[in-house]
Amino acid sequence: MIVRTRPAFASFDSVDRMFDQLTRSLRTSPGTPVVDAAWVDGALQLTVDLPGTPEDAIHVDVAGRTLTVAVETDHLQWSRSIRLGAALDSEQVSARYVHGRLTVTVAPAPAAAKRSIALDTTAPAAPAIEAREAHEEEPPSES
């Protein structure tokens, strides 16, 4: 049997690529908010500068594993959604808006605890299926 293992945070690489694509696409439109993403102590930290935007115009939502940041004012309607990978805990999301800068932090998912699995050594309820050679014929049935 071959068993392959990956580092605990292997999925961060794909998330990093996704954020690189996201931030490149945001930088192409002047006046559009730019999302910067960084890993800080294992947590994902998104930063969006929104100077002059009232706090009630900013919405941060999580639905399942999708995080959405949205802004709706008279002059700006903008939103970005990202899918949170398994390495991130969608239940542990915080958002802070201070001096025109929105910071959204998604905590890393807790590592699964090691546990031992007990072996079941009881006989199965049904008899085991016996293997036959392919060239063996079925015995004639008694009718």
Q: What CATH number does the domain containing 21 carry? A: 2.60.40.790
Q: 122 vs 135, which has greater pLDDT?
A: 122
Is 65 part of any domain? yes
Which of these, 18, 8, 113, lies nearest to 65 by C-alpha position?
A: 18
Q: What is the pLDDT averaged over residues 36-65?
A: 95
Compute, in degrees rounded to 10, the torsion defined by CA atoms 90, 92, 42, 37. 70
Per-residue pLDDT band at 3 (split at 50, 70, 90):
very low
Q: Give CA–CA dist 53/106, Å, rounded.
A: 23
Is 4 part of any domain? no
Which residue is associated with the tokens 């004639």? 140
Is 122 part of any domain? no
In this prediction, residue 43 carries a pLDDT of 95
Q: How far apart are the first and last CA of the chain?
A: 46
Is 71 part of any domain? yes
In this prediction, residue 48 carries a pLDDT of 96
Is 130 part of any domain? no
> Range of 60's domain?
12-108
In this prediction, residue 123 carries a pLDDT of 77
Tokens matching residue 79: 């939103």
| Averaged pLDDT score across all residues of the chain | 81
Q: How far is CA 70 from CA 50, 59, 134, in A?
A: 11, 5, 65
Q: For the chain, how many structural domains are there in total?
A: 1
Is 143 part of any domain? no
Q: Above 70 in pLDDT, residue 113?
A: yes
